[in-house]
């Protein structure tokens, strides 16, 4: 039994599940890529680069004290689509909500069979980078124990 996902991410998973054809999944990813807001070039720094991706991928996160807002970009359209769907699925959640998301949703979407192994691995690395940023915010706001 898969853990429950945040509502927006669950909708995205269902959208991909309704597209059994890998070509349709690619078209869906390209649709997400085209929807992604442009990322400020100044944010494309080594600290924001996602490691373990063949493409250039950047992720930033802003925290308003309660919810996280991610921004990202990639130089590859398909990967940009992966970035965009993760941003849409995880934006406006608390660090705790983001950290509770397990990567098994990637298999549920069917993308693990549609993507090349290096892209599937990159997708996982992007997701882990977003979780790492959420963890940083959670640690920074956690009350210190005396």
How far is Cα 54 from Cα 5, in angstroms, rounded to an integer? Answer: 28
Backbone φ and ψ of 68, nearest 5°: -105, 140
pLDDT digit string (tens) for the chain, length 146 residues:
446 899 999 999 999 999 988 899 999 999 999 999 999 999 999 999 998 878 899 999 999 999 999 999 999 999 999 999 999 999 999 999 999 999 889 888 888 777 888 888 889 999 999 999 999 999 988 776 65
Active site residues: 53
DSSP string, 103-144: TTHHHHTTHHHHS-HHHHHHHHHHHHHHHHHHHHHHHHHSPP
- Domains in the chain: ranges and CATH: 7-141 (3.90.1010.10)
């Amino acid at each position: 039994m898969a853990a429950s996902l945040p509502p927006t991410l669950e909708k995205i998973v269902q959208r991909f599940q309704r597209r059994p054809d890998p070509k349709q999944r690619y078209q869906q990813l390209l649709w997400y890529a085209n929807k992604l807001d442009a990322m400020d070039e100044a944010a494309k720094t080594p600290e924001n680069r996602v490691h373990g991706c063949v493409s250039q991928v950047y992720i930033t996160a802003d925290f308003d004290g309660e919810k996280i807002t991610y921004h990202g970009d990639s130089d590859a359209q398909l990967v940009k689509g992966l970035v965009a769907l993760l941003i849409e699925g995880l934006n406006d959640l608390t660090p705790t909500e983001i950290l509770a998301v397990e990567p098994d949703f990637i298999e549920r979407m069917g993308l693990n069979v549609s993507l090349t192994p290096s892209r599937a691995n990159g997708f996982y690395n992007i997701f882990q980078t977003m979780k790492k940023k959420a963890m940083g915010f959670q640690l920074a706001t956690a009350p210190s124990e005396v």
